[in-house]
Protein backbone atom coordinates (compact mmCIF):
# COMPACT_ATOMS: atom_id res chain seq x y z
CA UNK A 1 0.00 0.00 0.00
CA UNK A 2 1.25 3.51 -0.76
CA UNK A 3 2.00 5.24 2.50
CA UNK A 4 0.66 8.75 2.91
CA UNK A 5 3.33 9.58 5.50
CA UNK A 6 5.05 11.40 2.64
CA UNK A 7 2.42 14.14 2.99
CA UNK A 8 1.87 14.14 6.75
CA UNK A 9 2.81 16.45 9.55
CA UNK A 10 2.17 15.21 13.09
CA UNK A 11 -0.14 12.53 11.71
CA UNK A 12 -2.31 14.98 9.75
CA UNK A 13 -2.55 14.66 5.99
CA UNK A 14 -1.15 17.86 4.47
CA UNK A 15 -2.14 17.08 0.86
CA UNK A 16 -2.93 14.13 -1.34
CA UNK A 17 -0.06 12.51 -3.16
CA UNK A 18 -1.82 12.51 -6.55
CA UNK A 19 -5.29 12.19 -8.04
CA UNK A 20 -5.90 8.69 -9.39
CA UNK A 21 -8.22 10.07 -12.07
CA UNK A 22 -5.52 12.46 -13.35
CA UNK A 23 -2.99 9.73 -14.13
CA UNK A 24 -1.63 9.54 -16.83
CA UNK A 25 -2.92 12.79 -18.35
CA UNK A 26 -1.87 15.40 -15.78
CA UNK A 27 1.87 16.00 -15.94
CA UNK A 28 2.01 17.45 -12.42
CA UNK A 29 0.41 14.35 -10.87
CA UNK A 30 2.70 12.06 -12.88
CA UNK A 31 5.76 13.96 -11.72
CA UNK A 32 4.63 13.91 -8.07
CA UNK A 33 4.08 10.15 -8.32
CA UNK A 34 7.46 9.70 -10.04
CA UNK A 35 9.23 11.76 -7.35
CA UNK A 36 7.50 9.82 -4.55
CA UNK A 37 8.49 6.48 -6.09
CA UNK A 38 12.08 7.62 -6.64
CA UNK A 39 12.36 8.66 -3.00
CA UNK A 40 10.86 5.39 -1.73
CA UNK A 41 12.53 2.97 -4.14
CA UNK A 42 15.79 4.84 -4.76
CA UNK A 43 15.75 3.78 -8.42
CA UNK A 44 16.97 6.07 -11.19
CA UNK A 45 15.14 4.15 -13.92
CA UNK A 46 12.01 5.97 -12.79
CA UNK A 47 13.35 9.18 -14.40
CA UNK A 48 12.64 7.74 -17.85
CA UNK A 49 9.70 5.50 -16.96
CA UNK A 50 6.40 5.58 -18.79
CA UNK A 51 3.38 6.01 -16.51
CA UNK A 52 0.07 4.70 -17.82
CA UNK A 53 -3.14 3.03 -16.71
CA UNK A 54 -4.50 -0.36 -17.59
CA UNK A 55 -7.58 -0.52 -19.83
CA UNK A 56 -9.90 -1.02 -16.84
CA UNK A 57 -8.29 2.06 -15.17
CA UNK A 58 -7.88 0.13 -11.90
CA UNK A 59 -4.08 -0.09 -12.07
CA UNK A 60 -1.19 2.21 -12.88
CA UNK A 61 1.84 0.73 -14.64
CA UNK A 62 5.22 2.41 -14.31
CA UNK A 63 7.81 0.89 -16.63
CA UNK A 64 11.13 1.43 -18.35
CA UNK A 65 13.10 -1.32 -20.08
CA UNK A 66 13.05 -4.46 -17.95
CA UNK A 67 11.91 -2.55 -14.85
CA UNK A 68 8.26 -2.14 -13.95
CA UNK A 69 5.87 -1.78 -11.08
CA UNK A 70 2.11 -2.00 -10.74
CA UNK A 71 -0.09 0.07 -8.43
CA UNK A 72 -3.63 -1.30 -8.15
CA UNK A 73 -6.79 -0.14 -6.43
CA UNK A 74 -8.44 -2.42 -3.90
CA UNK A 75 -11.90 -3.81 -4.73
CA UNK A 76 -13.64 -0.90 -3.01
CA UNK A 77 -11.44 1.56 -4.98
CA UNK A 78 -10.52 3.35 -1.77
CA UNK A 79 -6.83 2.39 -1.37
CA UNK A 80 -3.83 1.62 -3.54
CA UNK A 81 -2.10 -1.72 -3.08
Closest CA to 34 of 69, 81, 77, 79: 69
Please calculate the CA angle 2-33-11 and round it to the nearest 5 degrees: 45
19 neighbors 27 (Cβ within 8 angstroms): no
pTM over 0.75? The answer is: no
Amino acid 26: pLDDT: 85
> Residue 76 phi/psi, 5° resolution?
-85, -5
The domain segmentation of the chain, as residue ranges, is: 4-72
Amino acid 32: pLDDT: 86
pLDDT in tens, 26-58: 888 898 889 888 988 899 999 999 999 999 999
Amino acid sequence: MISHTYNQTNGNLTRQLFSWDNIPNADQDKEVLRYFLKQRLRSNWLDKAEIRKTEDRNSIIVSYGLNSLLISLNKEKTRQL
